[in-house]
Amino acid sequence: MSILEIIVFLPILAALAIGFGAPARFTALGAAGINLICGLVAAGTAKFTDIEVGGFSFVHESSRPLLDDPELALAFGLDGISLVLLILTVIVTLAAVWVSPAEIKIKGSTKLYYTSSLLISAGALGAFLSTDLFFLYAFHELALIPTFLMIGVFGFGENRKRTAWTITIYLGVGSLILLAGLIALFLNLGGNTFDLATLYETASNDVNIPAETQSWIYLLLLVGFGILVSLFPFHSWAPDAYADAPTPIAMLHSGVLKKFGIYGLIRIATPMLPAGAEKWANLVLVLLLGNIIILGLATIAQKRLDRMLGYSSVMHMGYVFLGVVAGTTIGMSGAVLLMFAHGVSIALLFALAGSLRDRFGSLEFEKLGSGLGKTVPKLGLLFGFAAFASIGLPGFANFASEVMVFFGAFQPMEKGDSLGFLQWAAIISLWGVVISAVYMLRAYRNIFKGPLASPEPRAADLTWGERIPVLLLIVALMLIGFVPEILLKYLRPALESLTLIGGGG
Amino acid sequence: MPVFYLEIIVVVLGLVMLMVDAFVKLEDKRHIAWIGVLGLICVFFLLFKVEWPTTTESTFWKFYDHEEGTRGFSLFYKGIAVLCTIIVLIMGAEFRGVIQKYIAPPEPGAHPQSGLGEFFALPVFACAGLMWMASASNLVSIFVALETVTITFYVLVAYMRRNVGSLEAGVKYLILGALSTGFLVYGFTWLFGITGSMDLAEIKTALASENVNVAAALFAFGLIIVGLGFKVGAAPFQLWIPDVYQGAPTPITAFLSVASKSAGFIVLLRIAGCFLSSAYLSEKIGAVLVVIAILTLLYGNLAALPQKNFKRLLAYSSIAHAGFLLMALASPPGKSGGLNSPAVVISFYLGAYLLMTLLAFLVMTAVRNTQEDESVDAYAGLARRSPFLAFALLIAMASLAGIPLTAGFFGKFFVFKLAFENGASWILIAAGIIGAAAGFYYYLKIVASMYWAEGDDEADSISVSIPSKVTMVLLMIGILVAGVVPNAILSLLG
């Protein structure tokens, strides 16, 4: 039993234990805490020198063959990319399990609440750590039903049932399209094994999938992953879902689970189908501009904080796509780092928004009034931090990663080259930073600054218990913001081997 | 122990049950069901101990499949029949209250459970027929086995004789069943006329020879597919399914939807195999199967969407699953062996289908004991009344919908993989994807009803008997284990 297997199965076992009557909050927090420690230990002890197994660490200890023909194994491994996402997941999971459980006090069943959160976390961990194509897909789906139940049972607003149906059907259809693409890819790579390392090898050496085939498979994968990651124009499920979902689900889904789509593109689609990636690169550039500019403007127009955060989360996915399309090591590193930074910062924002909703009963800007910074100064201060991080102010991980993404877009240029489509897209995307400053700062000013409404709303400030998960997230953001090298040193070799495998970027 | 003793043991077991019912004074006739369950559990273990004949000179072996290559399959389908019958008997014991209400004799002084004994004995006879069908390698034995099963079902479907719904279902099933049997027999006679043999192996050779009469063979296949399409619930011969499933006693509905369907599929596999291996016929037969598969997939899944009655919804779901099974059958076989052969994929799917469908019906039976209502709304708040039943049904629905890490997903995954690999037509694959997507909605509708609805807090919790509970737990474990380790089912195929 390797440490990675413990990390993936601990939340599932904890969920089972809760089902059999273990104290829910205690067990869930315990599992999330142990997982955070295990995650850091795994990151610390991983060895990335072993080139033979495709750059994955821990592969030998944690591979259990299940089928011979085709080769199928429950196998986990860690490389630089999955390491970053592993850390992201364990941090956000702990924070999500910890945040205020006010909504369960209203509606009962703590069991369902905590088991669902744990299962979503287990699904994300399993997906990020699997080195077997089949389980990489299968684990992601583990989150589908818990999300469905949580939004329907504990969600907010009149429309929560409708929202739960929308996200489930949308993501279900997306997964089916993705599955079709993955099966096609798998068969075109020989159809003998689901092992990622072997598939990379096949993709680079033996089999040259004809460019035409690559292009339609890539399109299937792009649509499938794109739906999961809310790429424009497949984004419409996301803002409502995050707005209506209970706080931990909004944190886990927008912070962690959504990253699976990008992870799939970086891990599977781009390296295995380089010609396909090249063919559709311009389409992706147009779509990501849709994410950044069109949805950015839509974000400004929102009248409720939770919906605004939902849109902003969708909008930021545009930058990640930009890094992926750039295809250079620095751009890709930026993209993965941005997945981390965005995951932590959006989880932070949703956690604070949840605290606001618990205290004031609504997240509509008009009803919240203004000047709440005087009523709840600590909440206001922390929200300020979160907003600055989200805009991408230096000192936060978001800044480091966004800068890398933009640099990455310009890196392929030689001296004297004129600007290509990629570079123009990057220049237009830069305006997204201005857009996000507009809506974030406006929201911050409207809610926390200005004169207090009369009669003065009364509310207790954040207690220490509530501050801990928030501080955990802020510390993670600032740590990586000041010393991005902590994660970058793992990313570079992993990405370089992938880009090489894909026949150059 | 020679393999055909299994069927003999099962028939004797059924006779013993009838005798006990007639001659032993039992306060509670449930004990007859327990006799059957214990006996069949023994038979199930005997399945792993059978011996195959060394000499096959006697005429008997012409009627009983003993080929080296298909032994595993025969045993697998026998196992499905036995397991299914065991669970149906347990369900029947749980369901006795409802049955009693509709069959109790009106005159005073009669045994209140009079007539219940046969309800437990008849499925055992059907089981013997199903087991024989799994090994039938001759048109005659196929037909006799099929009729043994079908005639038992005519009785069982209409068993609740004072319930109009059950009677209506019985009449519908009888008329349409008899009609389809007619088509089947007529098809068999044509097949005999073309090939001059009743033996499937000889028929296969005859159909593959170049002087086969293609038009006549196609006509024969058309007649046979009408008959078998009725048994497995393939469109456009599926019209009886919703009404009969809804009207029949719940355990019998489960029996129909699992055992009868899997037996139909093994016969279809054997007979269609004869046609598909002929170079002159395979293309046209394949096209017919593709059309039927597309129709079944679309009809089953799309018509399930608006259903409000849970039992009826499962009826449409049964059609939908027949669609996926036909999709595997219709994918022209490429390189053979392992998961590339439709037979293996279909068998796996049916194994998974058994686990998840019977789990759903077990929960339905338990809920039906406390309330008349079978609509989806009746399940509102089940998560509060009985978290265990709700969780069991959640697992069953997740698996039926084909969510990964459940047995149902592997079933669908193998079907899609086979279809892609063997270059099935795009329309077929698209119909499969549409069907699977629709499935998300109508299965999760049940989940939503159980968990979301505010529900009636006053309603009593539901008591479940120990055997049912144990069976449910075993089925859940089976679904989850097979959802990660497909070999759990595949290795049984030998």
* B112 pLDDT more than 60: yes
Q: What's the whole-number mean pLDDT along residues B173-201?
A: 92
pLDDT value for B225: 93
Which residue in B339, B386, B445, B452 has the most chain A C-beta atoms within 10 A of its own C-beta, making it the best mutation to test that interface? B452
pLDDT band at A193 (very low <50, low <70, confident <90, very high): confident
The answer to whether A139 and A123 are in contact (CB under 8 A) is yes
Q: Can you name the residues that pair with A304 across neighbouring β-strands?
A: A364
pLDDT at B379: 86
> Residue A415, class by beta-carbon neighbours within 10 Å (0-12 exposed, 13-18 middle, 19+ buried)?
exposed
Average pLDDT estimate for A153-165: 85
Q: How confident is the model at residue B90 (pLDDT cuts 50, 70, 90)?
A: very high
Confidence grade of residue B129 (pLDDT, cut at 50, 70, 90): very high
- Locate A491 and state its tokens: 């990313």
Q: Phi first, then psi: give them for residue A67, nearest 5 degrees.
A: -140, 150
Task: Find the helix packing angle between B342-368 and B387-401, rounded to 10°.
Answer: 150
**Count of helices and strands (H, E) across chain A:** 25, 2
Beta carbons of B256 and B153 less than 8 angstroms apart = yes
| Contacts B338 to A, Cβ<8 Å | 69
| pLDDT at residue B458 in the model | 59
Ramachandran class of A58: left when φ > 0, alpha when ψ lies in -120 to 50, beta otherwise: left
Nearest-by-CA chain B residue for A65: B485
Residue A220: partners with Cβ closer than 8 Å, 6 or more residues away: A177, A178, A180, A181, A184
ipTM value greater than 0.90? no
ω into B306 cis (within 30 of 0) = no
Question: Which residues of chain A lie closer than 8 angstroms to B485, CB-CB?
Answer: 66
At A107 the pLDDT is 62
Residue B461: other Cβ atoms inside 10 A: 12
Question: Are the CB atoms for A308 and A440 separated by under 8 Å?
Answer: no
pLDDT for res A243: 87
Does B201 contact A at CB distance below 8 Å? no
- Per-residue pLDDT of A174-184, as tens digits, reads 999 999 999 99
Residue-wise DSSP of B440-489: HHHHHHHHHHHHHS---TTSPP----HHHHHHHHHHHHHHHHHHH-THHH
The answer, yes or no, to whether residue B232 has pLDDT greater than 80, is yes
* pLDDT score of B335 more than 70: no
Locate tokens 């969708």: which residue? A314
Mean pLDDT rounded to a whole number for chain B:
88
- Show Cβ contacts of residue A428 under 8 Å, excluding neighbours closer than 6 positions: A289, A292, A293
More confident: B306 or A453? B306
- How far is C-alpha B333 from the chain's CA centre? 24
As given in the structure block, the two tokens for residue A336 are 């993965």
B451:A161 CB<8 A: no
Cβ-based contacts of A176 with chain B (< 8 Å)? 433, 436-437
**How far off is chain B from A190, nearest CA to CA, in Å?**
10
Which pLDDT belongs to residue A502? 47
Could you tell me the CA-to-CA distances from A24 to A21, A34, A241, B391 in Å, in that order? 8, 15, 25, 17
A296: tokens are 């950015």
Using 50, 70 and 90 to split pLDDT, how confident is the model at A48?
low
pLDDT of res. A106 = 55
CB A253 within 8 A of CB A160: no
Whether A503 has a pLDDT exceeding 50, the answer reads no
Region B227-243: mean pLDDT is 90
Cross-strand partners of B2? B51
Q: Do A308 and A443 form a contact (C-beta atoms < 8 A)?
A: yes
Contact A183 B436 (CB under 8 A): no
Least Cα distance to A311 among A322, A302, A320 occurs for A302
Contacts with A153 from chain B: Cβ below 8 Å: 451-452
Instruction: Give the CA diameter of chain B.
Output: 73
Contacting residues of A for B451, CB less than 8 Å apart: 112, 149, 152-153
Averaged pLDDT, A217-244: 90
The alpha-helical segments, DSSP class H, found in A195-273 are 196-204, 211-228, 238-244, 247-252, 259-264, 270-272
B388 to chain A: closest CA residue: A19
Nearest CA in chain A to B483: A138
**Interface probe with B: pick from A145, A168, A169, most Cβ of B within 10 Å:** A145
Return the half-sphere exposure (C-beta side, CA atoms, 13 A cut-off) of residue A254. 36
Q: What number is the average pLDDT over the span B479-488?
A: 90
Q: Rounded to 5 degrees, what angle do the CA atoms A275, A280, A284 make?
A: 140
**Which residue is it, tokens 């719940």?**
B250
Mean pLDDT, range B348-371, rounded to an integer: 92
The answer to which of A410-414, B237-241, B330-334, B447-451 has the lowest mean pLDDT is B330-334
State residue B443's pLDDT score.
Answer: 93
A456: left (phi over 0), alpha (psi -120 to 50) or beta: beta
Q: Do the chains contact at B433 and A145, CB–CB below 8 Å?
A: no
CB-CB under 8 Å, B417 with A180: no
Least confident of A318-322, B187-191, B419-423: B419-423
pLDDT of residue A52: 44
Which tokens go with B260?
Answer: 């009868």
* % of chain B surpassing 70 pLDDT: 97
Nearest-angstrom CA–CA distance, A439 and A300: 5
Q: Residue A51 pLDDT > 50, yes or no?
A: no
Nearest to B437 among A69, A109, A172 (CB): A172
Instruction: Residue A184: name the closest of B325, B421, B340, B329 by CA.
Output: B421
Q: Tell me if chain A has a CB within 8 Å of the CB of B451.
A: yes
Q: Return d(Cα B219, Cα B369) in angstroms, integer.
A: 48
pLDDT tens digit sequence for A112-154: 888 889 999 999 999 999 988 999 999 998 888 899 988 888 8
- Average pLDDT of the residues in B84-98: 91
Q: B360-390 burial, b for 16+ CB within 10 Å, e for fewer? A: bbbbbbbbbbbeeebbbebbbbbbbbbbbbb
Percent of chain B, pLDDT > 90? 53
pLDDT-wise least confident of A188-192, B331-335, B400-404: B331-335
- Three-state DSSP state, A484: coil
Mutate to test the interface with A, among B451, B457, B480, B493 (most CBs of A within 10 A): B451
Chain A residues with beta carbon closer than 8 angstroms to that of B390:
none
- Whether A120 and A13 have beta carbons less than 8 Å apart is answered as no
Q: How far apart are CA B261 and CA B346, in angstroms?
A: 12
Statement: residue A453 has pLDDT above 90: no
Q: What does the domain layout of chain A look like in residue ranges? A: 3-501
* pLDDT, position A91: 93
- CA dist., res. A483 & res. A211, Å (int): 41
User: How many other CB atoms sit within 10 Å of the CB of residue A362?
Assistant: 15
Domain locations in chain B as residue ranges: 315-494
State the nearest Cα–Cα gap between A194 and chain B, in angstroms.
Answer: 13
Higher-confidence position of B457 and A494: A494
Shortest distance, CA A177 to any CA of chain B (angstroms): 8
Query: Are B396 and B472 spatial neighbours (Cβ–Cβ below 8 Å)?
Result: no
pLDDT for position A108: 60
Closest CA to B308 of B236, B396, B246: B246
Q: What pLDDT score does A158 carry?
A: 80
Contacts of A141 in chain B (CB under 8 A): 403-405, 409
| Chain Cα centroid distance, residue A327 | 19
Spatial CA neighbour of A93 closest among A138, A45, A146: A146
pLDDT of B456 reads 58
SS3 label, residue B67: coil
The amino acid occupying position B352 is A
Predicted pLDDT at B334: 60
Q: CA-to-CA distance for A195 and A131, rounded, in angstroms? A: 6
Statement: residue B244 has pLDDT above 50:
yes
Structure-model confidence comparison of residues B4 and B192, the more confident one: B192
Alpha carbons A199 and A460: distance in angstroms, whole number: 56
Per-residue confidence at A505, pLDDT binned at 50, 70, 90? very low
In this prediction, residues A244-267 reach a mean pLDDT of 90
Contacts of A66 in chain B (CB under 8 A): 484-487
* Separation in Å, CA of A113 to nearest CA in chain B: 12
B435 contacts in chain A (CB < 8 Å): none
Q: Do A144 and B437 touch (CB under 8 A)?
A: no
For the segment B127-151, the average pLDDT, to the nearest whole number, is: 91
CA distance B239 to B255: 18
More confident residue, A103 or A375: A375
Looking at the predicted structure, is the pLDDT value of residue A240 above 90? Answer: no
Q: At what angle do helices A377-391 and A329-360 cross, to 10 degrees?
A: 160
Flag whether residue B334 sits within 8 Å of chain A, measured between CB atoms. no
Contacts of A150 (CB under 8 A, 6+ apart): A112, A113, A116, A117, A245, A246, A249
| Confidence check: pLDDT of B175 > 90 | yes
Model confidence at A1: pLDDT above 80: no
Average pLDDT, chain A: 85
* b/e map B66-78, b = 16+ CB within 10 Å: beeebbebbbbbb
CB contact B45 to A (< 8 Å): no
Contact between A180 and B487 using a beta-carbon 8 Å cutoff: no
Please tell me the predicted confidence (pLDDT) of residue A22: 81
Q: What is the pLDDT of residue A504?
A: 41
Predicted confidence at residue B342, as pLDDT, reads: 86
- pLDDT band of residue B9 (cuts 50, 70, 90) is very high
A64 conformational bin, left if phi > 0, alpha if psi -120 to 50, beta if neither: beta
pLDDT (mean) for A326-331:
84
Q: Which of A156, A183, A244 to mutate to test the interface with B (most CBs of B within 10 A)?
A: A183
What average pLDDT does range B187-200 have in this prediction? 91
Q: Which residue has the higher pLDDT, A495 or B415?
A: B415
Instruction: Provide the pLDDT for residue A344.
Output: 93
A501 pLDDT more than 60: no
Cβ distance B441 to A169 less than 8 Å, yes or no, reads yes
Length of chain A: 505
Alpha-carbon distance B357 to nearest alpha carbon in chain A (angstroms): 19
Identify the residue with better confidence: A135 or A155: A135
| pLDDT in the model for residue B294 | 94
Pairing mode of beta strands A72-75, A63-67: antiparallel
CB atoms A183 and B394 under 8 Å = no
Cis amide prior to A146 (ω within 30 degrees): no
Tell me the CB-side half-sphere exposure of residue B431, using CA atoms within 13 A: 27
Q: Do A145 and B404 touch (CB under 8 A)?
A: no
Q: How many contacts, defined by CB atoms under 8 Å, are there between A and B? A: 83
Distance CA B40, CA B43 (A): 5
Q: Which chain B residue's Cα is nearest to A147?
A: B448
B460/B466 Cα distance (integer angstroms): 18
